Structure 1
Amino acid sequence: MPYAMGEYYERVSDYDLEYQSQSELDLPFWRELVQRFAPEHILELACGSGRIGLDLLKMPGEQTFTMDGLDIEPDMLKAYCRRVEALEPAIQQRVSLHEGDMTDFHLPRKGQFDLIFLPFNSIAHLYELEQQFGAFRCVYDHLASGGTFVVDTFLPDIDYLSNALNRPSTVYLEDEIASEDFTMLMYTTRKFDPIEQLQHITWTHEKFFENGDNERYLTRLDMHVFFPRELQILFLSAGLQIDAIYGSYDWKPLGKGTRQIVIGRKK
């Protein structure tokens, strides 16, 4: 079954603009996580253009951990590389980027990572059971003994999914984003497949430039909806012990927010 994913990430600068506000929400969580666990070697899966990884590398203090990033989209990794090249050499030496599929990867530090994390809904790109099991198996193999794996994804909203199931053609104005050169309106339609547990999302992007020009384009994205017990079973089936589950980026328990952030550990 073909799934829509790549085109959504092809316009890297637009993607980064759309999600710049996300950094205010989740970056404090990831910084504190690194401070709590004090890892030597970190791997970020679906690292994208480096929104999270670069922020962690620039944390103040005596942080000396290495940061590996894995992503399947070459344009995202190229943007990440350009940003790394603008950093001081001491930080550059701590970064290793890899183009690859998180369902089947083999990195030089296999078995050495103290912390592996999969942030901001990226697990929703694992559509099939085989992909999910493959990703967790690779994570287990790359973790050091006692190493930690953290997954952050949205908590399913039943009312929201009901609307996407029963009124799939409804168009919503999802966001209005302003940059120095243009204003972008984003309209969305969502259809939910309850059998495959998939959201089929279509965005219409309308950009209005300061010089009077305009541009319109569509992007599509499919996202698997993980229910809490389903996600927890993936951790346990991979041999990972679940240490904690949080419902928000301010460390509230599951059910007290819109997220499910699962922290597992290799025994």
Structure 2
Amino acid sequence: MPYEMGEYYKRANDYDLEYQGQSEQDVPFWKELVMRYTPCHVLELACGSGRIGMELLKGPGDFLLDGLDIEPEMLKAYLRKVSQESPEIQQRVKLLEGDMCDYQLPSKGDYDLIFLPFNSICHLYELEQQLETFRNTWEHLAPNGHFVVDTFLPDIDYLSDALNRPSNVYLEDEIEDPDDEFTMLLYTSRKFDPYEQLQHIVWTHEKFFHESGENERYLTKLDMHVFFPRELQMLFLATGFSIDAIYGSYDWKPFGRGTRQIVVGRKPNV
């Protein structure tokens, strides 16, 4: 079946605006993770427009950071941000266009930390895609390197409301443009397919421009695979990883005491 993904990520500026508040939640976690593991070479899969990566580069450490993404518009936005930074930061980051299922990078076997943040694993819809990504990541890691995956913990009540039928459209967010040019309302409807474990999401974006009084409306669609805990853990174990830790939130609570499942896998030193 065809899956919806790319359209949602083609408006990088609107994406950054919608998720500006997310950085307050998860960026401190990733900064702390880097401080704990002190990596030399890091790879961020599905790096997007650099929401997380740029903050890591500005934080402690002098590690090299590679970012991989399949969407050219996101990488262009990331590159624009990098170009505004100091030469020291620019020299530490490399951006690559590619699919996390089958990427082959020159630094294969050299990365001591690879991470896949903020639900991006949910774009791996087929079992073979999931296994290929985990196997490929295992091959790109150095011995004792870590692979960290962050996604939401499924909410059964939330999913049941959208079981096999679209949920009611509701206002998810009201966002003010930092330059005060417009206000954007974000409406959402979801449908959950329990057999494919897929959320079919439709967002309606409505912008109201303050000076002209005009408005713009557009739709974006996104499909997300819903990972249940044992399923995600099994992907790590089936592809050769040991599981060092599982956290339930960005403030390092143990699994089951939060709304996240953040799994830390390790490639054994063999």
TM-score relative to the length of structure 1: 0.98
Q: Distance in 2 between matches of 1:238 and 1:96?
A: 27
SS of equivalent residue, structure 1 residue 116: strand
Say yes or no: does 1:105 pair with 2:106. no
SS of equivalent residue, structure 1 residue 208: strand
Q: Distance in 2 between matches of 1:184 and 1:53?
A: 26
Match of residue 160 from structure 1: 158
Name the aligned partner's letter for residue 183 of structure 1.
Answer: T
- For residue 90 of structure 1, report the CA deviation from its aligned partner: 1.1
- For residue 170 of structure 1, report the CA deviation from its aligned partner: 1.0
Match of residue 129 from structure 2: 131
Q: Distance in 1 between matches of 2:119 and 2:153?
A: 10
Matching residue within 64, 67, 70 for 1:69: 67
Q: Distance in 1 between matches of 2:253 and 2:126?
A: 30
**Number of equivalenced pairs:** 265
How far does the alpha carbon of each residue in 1:17-76 deviate from its partner, in whole angstroms, 9 at most, with x for none? Answer: 00000000001000000000000000000000001111000014xx11000000000000
SS of equivalent residue, structure 1 residue 75: helix
Q: Distance in 2 between matches of 1:169 and 1:50?
A: 32
Name the aligned partner's letter for residue 147 of structure 2.
Answer: F
Greater shift, 230-239 or 160-169, is seen at 160-169
Q: Distance in 1 between matches of 2:189 and 2:85?
A: 39
Greater shift, 176-185 or 143-152, is seen at 176-185
Say yes or no: does 1:13 pair with 2:13. yes
Q: Distance in 2 between matches of 1:175 and 1:215?
A: 16
SS of equivalent residue, structure 1 residue 117: strand
Identity %: 74
Name the aligned partner's letter for residue 234 of structure 1.
Answer: L
Q: Distance in 1 between matches of 2:23 and 2:224?
A: 21
Name the aligned partner's letter for residue 131 of structure 2.
Answer: F
Asked if the contact 2:46–2:116 (Cα under 8 Å) also holds between the matched residues in 1, the reply is yes
- For residue 168 of structure 1, report the CA deviation from its aligned partner: 1.7
- For residue 167 of structure 1, report the CA deviation from its aligned partner: 5.2
Match of residue 223 from structure 1: 224
How far does the alpha carbon of each residue in 1:125-146 deviate from its partner, in whole angstroms, 9 at most, with x for none? Answer: 0000010001001100000000
Alignment of structure 1 residues 119-198 onto 2, 5 Å = 119-165=117-163, 168-179=166-177, 180-198=180-198
- For residue 189 of structure 1, report the CA deviation from its aligned partner: 0.7
Q: Distance in 1 between matches of 2:31 and 2:142?
A: 21
Greater shift, 144-153 or 169-178, is seen at 169-178
Say yes or no: does 1:236 pair with 2:237. yes
Q: Distance in 1 between matches of 2:76 and 2:102?
A: 21
Match of residue 248 from structure 2: 247
Asked if the contact 2:48–2:78 (Cα under 8 Å) also holds between the matched residues in 1, the reply is yes
Asked if the contact 2:165–2:192 (Cα under 8 Å) also holds between the matched residues in 1, the reply is no
Match of residue 89 from structure 1: 87
Cα RMSD over matched residues? 0.8
Q: Distance in 1 between matches of 2:166 and 2:62?
A: 48
Match of residue 23 from structure 1: 23
Match of residue 58 from structure 2: 58
After the TM superposition, list the runs of 4 or more consecutive aligned residues in structure 1 that deviate by more than 2 angstroms.
none
How far does the alpha carbon of each residue in 1:69-127 deviate from its partner, in whole angstroms, 9 at most, with x for none? Answer: 00000000011111111111111111111000000000011001000000000000000
Name the aligned partner's letter for residue 197 of structure 2.
Answer: Q
Q: Distance in 2 between matches of 1:108 and 1:86?
A: 26
Match of residue 203 from structure 1: 203
Greater shift, 234-243 or 163-172, is seen at 163-172
Greater shift, 159-168 or 214-223, is seen at 159-168
Name the aligned partner's letter for residue 220 of structure 1.
Answer: K
- For residue 259 of structure 1, report the CA deviation from its aligned partner: 0.3
Gaps of 5+ in 1: none
Q: Distance in 1 between matches of 2:93 and 2:234?
A: 32
Match of residue 44 from structure 2: 44
Asked if the contact 2:109–2:140 (Cα under 8 Å) also holds between the matched residues in 1, the reply is yes
